Every structure is written in C-alpha cells, then in structure tokens.
Amino acid sequence: MPEVATGSIKAALRRIEPYLWEIPSSFDPAMRVPARIFATARMLEEIIQDRALFQLVNVATLPGIQGAAIAMPDVHEGYGFPIGGVAAMDYETGVVSPGGIGYDINCGVRLLLTDLHDAEVNKWYPQLAKELFRKVPSGMGKGGKLKLSIKELDAVLNGGAPAVVKMGFGTETDIQYLESFGCIDFADAGAVSARAKERGKNQLGTIGSGNHFVEVDRVEVIYDHVAAKTLGLFHGQVVILIHTGSRGLGHQVATDYIKTMLRSLDRYEIRLRDRELACAPIQSEEGQRYLRAMAAAANFAWANRQVVTAEVREAFRALFGSDVKIRICYDVAHNIAKVEEHDVEGERRKVVVHRKGATRAFPPGHPEVIEQYRSVGQPILIPGSMGTASYVLVGAPGSMKRSFGSTCHGAGRKMSRRKALKTVRAAELLKELESEGIYAQAGSMRGLAEEAPIAYKDVHSVVDVVDRAGIARKVAQLRPVAVIKG
Amino acid sequence: MPFWILPHTADVRLRVEASSVAELFVEAMRGMMEIVLPGFCTQTFPRCRLVEQNLAVQSVDQSALLIDFLSEVLYWSQVQHAVFCAVQFQQLDQVSLQAKIEGCEVEQAFEEDIKAVTYHESFIRQNASGRWETVVVFDI
C-alpha cells in the first residue's frame, strides 16, 4: 500500500479558470476524477509545500466520487483527507468515509448579532473578555456546568439544538437561524458508543481547545449593503463568533467507525492508499450506521453551540443589562457529510457531500436556504486568526457548478504548532493584541502561542479567491475586539 | 530519545523507534503522553494518585494494533484525566494484545488536547539497522 501518489504534483497542475487549477485524472491511474484547487498562483506555491495535494489525489481514488475532489484556498495537510476539502459520493454506488468529515464532527461557526454599537461599549471590552472567560468553559477536556444523564444525552443526540432549547437554553426563534435547523432527523443515539457518550456527557456548553474560540467582533467593513441588511448586519455593530464542535463525543464516534470500516474493507473489496480514508459503501450496514452516528454527533455539536450561546448571552447581560438583544444570524457546519442533490455531467444525482474544513455555500433562491435569507443566499462564516479579521459571505451561483455548493472555512494554517511555539512568545502576543485593541483571555499560554496570527494564511486573500471564483460573495468584514481561547 | 516530533501543518506527527515491537508500543504511548503533558513521564517520582487500567485490543494487523492501542490509552487518559507512563503486556502478537497500563491521575491541565490517534502514515517496519520504527499522526 503506497503512502502517497508518485510523480510531480507541481508539473501536473494546470489552470482551468482564473482561480481554479486542476490535476487531471491521468496524473495517477487510480484517480477516478480530477482534483481541483481554488487558489491564486501565489497561494499554490504555498499549498504545495505540504502534502495536502497528494492527499487530495488520494481522495480522487475513492469509489463513487463524482465530478472532482475539490480543495479550497485554505487547504492544508490533514491525515487522509486534506483540511479544506470537498468530495461528493454517489448515494447509490459511492462510499462514506468518516475521515472525510473529520474527528470533530460538525465543528462549525455561529454568528450572534447584538443591538450594541462599538462606540457605546468599546471601553468595556477588557471586562467583557474576562466575563466571557468566566461564563464559557474552555480548555483541555474542560467539562461544563450542565451534567446530563444518559437518557438526557440521548435526547440531545436525537434532537440537536431544539432539545436543549426545550431545557431552557435559548428560544424557538433561535432554531430558525441554524443550518438544518440544528438537527439532522435521521440521527440515532443508539449508533453512538457508550465510550463516546462517556467522553461527551459533561461537555455541552464548552468550547475546548485548539483553534476553538468565542470572539467578539465589530462590523468593520460592509461590501454588500443589501445582503448585510437582510442578514441584520450594520457598520460598527458588536457581534460574536462561536467556533466549536462535538468535543470528545464526536472524536470518539469517528475513532470507533474508522476502526469498524477498516475491518470491513476486504468484504467490500475496497483498496485504499491511506487507512485514514477508511470507508464503507453508503448503502452498507456500516455506512448507514455511521451516517446515523455522525448525525447524532452533529446534533450534539449544534446543541453545544446553543448552550454556549446561552452562556454568551449571560455574560453580555451581566455587563450591559438584561435588555441587551442578542439574536442568531446563522450557524454553519464545516466538518460534516450531507445528503444533497447536485447536477453532475448533465444529470441530477443524489450524493453524500463530504465537507472537511469546507462550508456549505448555497446560492440565492436555493430551497434549503432559510426563507429569511433566500433572496441573498446562505450565510457563510469565515473566522480568520485572532489578530486579523473574520468574514461574513453568502453563497453564490458558481458554487453549484464548481464545488457542490461549497466554499472555504477559515484562513487555514500555514505554520506547524511546534514552529509557532518556537516563534511566538504568548506574553508578547497578548501585549501586541492589546495594543491593537484586541483583548484575549486564554486557558493556556501554549495554546495561545500555537494559534498566533503568524501561524495562519492571509484570510483576506482566501476570501478574495472564493469571491472572485464566484462560489461565494463578500458581505462584511469583522474585526476582533475580545477573544476567548481554550 | 526513542521518539521525535516531526513537522505537520496542523496536527502532530510523531516518529518512534525501538529495539523490539513491544518497546515500540511502550515508547509510542510515552511519546503520546509527552504531547499531552510534556516531561511528566520522565520525572523520577511524579506526585500523583496511581491509576491502572487493563486493556484488551484486537485489530486487523500490527500497525492498526498500535493505533488502536494508543486510542485505548487516549480514551482512558481523557476520562480519568490521567497520564500513563508504563505498560505491562500479558500478551502481544500481530493482531491482539492484553496489557495493563499504569499511570497517574493528574491535577494540572493537559498541555495539548489530542482529539484522536490516526492511522495516517502508520506502518510498523524494521529499518536497515534492525530497529523497529513507525510514524503516528495525532489529530489536535
């Protein structure tokens, strides 16, 4: 079993559109479809420095893959699938691969809108950072205040965000503004192992560590005034981004099912380049059971962001009074598989779209975009690094033709954690951020250094590529003012 | 040192080398624990509450067995908030093992939150000098 495809990726790359490159399927006899990458020529030079494109070529070898294996401009090396990748598999003949969703199932981003203006409240940002740090549990393996029985946890796994709204975390209106309304209906708590439940039972309402955060931003630039107004954004507005996922529960679900699928490869005569691509036919017992468990973990993640939302509301109300209004703008999943219909080679096909570090980007008029936003397209939330900027975009028509209704998910790392640790001193970073009016609170100085802005690609360039490629459209740029890290 | 951390853009890639397969398993575990809480397993007498856990693992082959073993250790490390530094194998073959892992329940926060142990690039092989080696990529 070779570790990676051979040959020179760089020599094989050809430009097929101004911001789209292709590695043709002739590059490697095992490729069933080409591999395509959204990027500028300059970005591509950086992208080929790690193994991301070799991993993308490996994805293009999977049974049932449709159209192309696709990488976004924030792509970087992962394990098995690259991070920032999209792969659509035929629903009848294709496979589902837990590695194509990732260990943090339904890791995603939620944007909350306040009715506060930066000018009214900016002197309170340092206190706001501290209050949020107190209210939102963060850090390694940190548990939340909410301790669920297994019966209650099962209700969350089957019911998603609406289940925790019933427990008093938020309102029915909140649910209207979540991708899939915060619940995949075919979820089955019975497909989730006791171990996964043990890892997750005390973690609702926690953000964890790594690149997860709660960030307060102000709306700095508006590019599209009509779309901004439709989404409820105004210049100078104080908004909040929440980035977290399914915590230990999702990690264990992925671990369990990758092991299960490795055992069934021979039975389905599947040969893989990399064991992290472990997969099973979508229509097999293993495939269907994984999809039900994945949906349950995704529901847990939506519930998690819903409880964190309640904690954020509590922190804001403690500081600014009980009449401060905070509503959800939108909530996106960027590590997930979705059953969707897309046009492939002139035919309408049912596919399972794997998005690993990629965001759904349905255009205006798409029936799955909520009615309130259907005229402008699905909101897309792109967090940058803590010292730069984040973006709100909407889906554009090109996404349906070129990327199975998908776009990028963040700035994308370019520097290893180890190198970041050697390069950055956390105490100095905190001071630098403060001098720029960004107040950070972190559970771990090491974690803060690992996530320093220098470790990330330029989010502005990433967003410009997806905007110019026609798969998403810029609506607003957000500037961080207070950041809570694990 | 029997393990080294190699470059990886977003996660952690660990190379492990040992004189036997059993030692490779032990050092891979200690390498993982070094990522979780650096320096802990190399302290002479770490102050802690001792914890032990019996494991039984079955896998498709030896390389998968190592990853599945590490996933087991990671699970117990996370639910017990413990760092495991020693292993006693009752049985270890190509596709299964029975072992007791020994370590400490710790007060301090872990330095790194490992989400999972991946199978990516993990192939146990014997190198030209007869030593056993592998690479393990951890999702962070």
* A3, part of any domain: no
Closest CA to A339 of A324, A325, A349: A349
* A1, part of any domain: no
Cα–Cα distance, A37 to A8 (Å, whole number): 16
Return the H-helix or E-strand segment holding A160: helix A150-166
Question: Do residue A413 and residue B9 have CB atoms under 8 angstroms apart?
Answer: yes
The tally of domains found in chain A comes to: 1
Alpha-carbon gap: A445 to the closest alpha carbon of chain B (Å): 9
Q: Are A139 and A444 in contact (CB under 8 A)?
A: yes
Cα–Cα distance, B11 to B16 (Å, whole number): 16
Indicate the residue of B12, B64, B139 with minimum beta-carbon distance to A103. Answer: B139
Closest CA to B59 of B48, B47, B72, B46: B72
Show residues of chain A in contact with B136, CB under 8 Å.
Answer: none
Minimum CA–CA partner of B121 in chain A: A3
Domains of chain B by residue range: 12-139
**A409 in active site:** yes
Show residues of chain B in contact with A209, CB under 8 Å.
Answer: 112-113
Average pLDDT for B108-128? 91
Question: Do residue A251 and residue B116 have CB atoms under 8 angstroms apart?
Answer: yes
Indicate the residue of A77, A79, A416 with minimum beta-carbon distance to B118. Answer: A79
Instruction: Give the pLDDT of residue A447.
Output: 86
Higher pLDDT, A209 or B56: B56
Instruction: Give the pLDDT of residue A372.
Output: 97
Cα–Cα distance, A315 to A184 (Å, whole number): 30
Structural domain span for residue A123: 9-485
Cα–Cα distance, B26 to A300 (Å, whole number): 34
Least reliable range by pLDDT among A146-160, A302-316, B39-53, B99-113: B39-53
Instruction: Give the pLDDT of residue A387.
Output: 86
* B107: pLDDT strictly greater than 70: yes
CATH number of the domain residue A63 falls in = 3.90.1860.10
* A262, part of any domain: yes
Cα–Cα distance, A349 to A342 (Å, whole number): 5
* B10: pLDDT strictly greater than 90: no
Amino acid at B104: C
Instruction: Give the pLDDT of residue B46.
Output: 65
Show residues of chain A in contact with B113, CB under 8 Å.
Answer: 140-141, 208-210, 486
Minimum CA–CA partner of A1 in chain B: B123
Question: Which positions in chain B have a beta carbon within 8 angstroms of at least one beta carbon in chain A?
Answer: 5, 7-12, 59-60, 64, 68, 71, 75, 78-79, 81, 109-113, 115-123, 137, 139-140
Residue of A251, A354, A409, A460 marked active site = A409
Show residues of chain A in contact with B9, CB under 8 Å.
Answer: 50, 52, 76-77, 413-416
Task: Walk along chain A (486 residues) and give the pLDDT tens digit of each residue.
Answer: 344 444 489 999 999 999 999 999 999 999 999 999 999 999 999 999 889 999 999 999 999 999 999 999 999 999 899 999 999 999 999 999 999 999 999 999 999 999 999 999 999 999 999 999 999 988 666 677 788 999 999 999 999 999 999 999 999 999 999 999 999 999 999 999 999 999 998 899 999 888 899 999 999 999 999 999 999 999 999 999 999 999 999 999 999 999 999 999 999 999 998 999 999 999 999 999 999 999 999 999 999 999 999 999 999 999 999 999 999 999 999 999 999 999 998 999 999 999 999 999 999 999 999 999 999 999 999 999 888 999 999 999 999 999 999 999 999 888 888 899 889 999 999 999 999 999 999 988 888 999 999 999 899 999 999 999 999 999 999 999 999 987
CATH 3.90.550.10 fits B12-139, yes or no: no
Show residues of chain B in contact with A448, CB under 8 Å.
Answer: none
Alpha-carbon gap: A417 to the closest alpha carbon of chain B (Å): 7
Cα–Cα distance, B21 to B99 (Å, whole number): 14
Minimum CA–CA partner of A81 in chain B: B120
Question: Do residue A83 and residue B121 have CB atoms under 8 angstroms apart?
Answer: no
Contacts of B46 (CB under 8 A, 6+ apart): B40, B85, B104
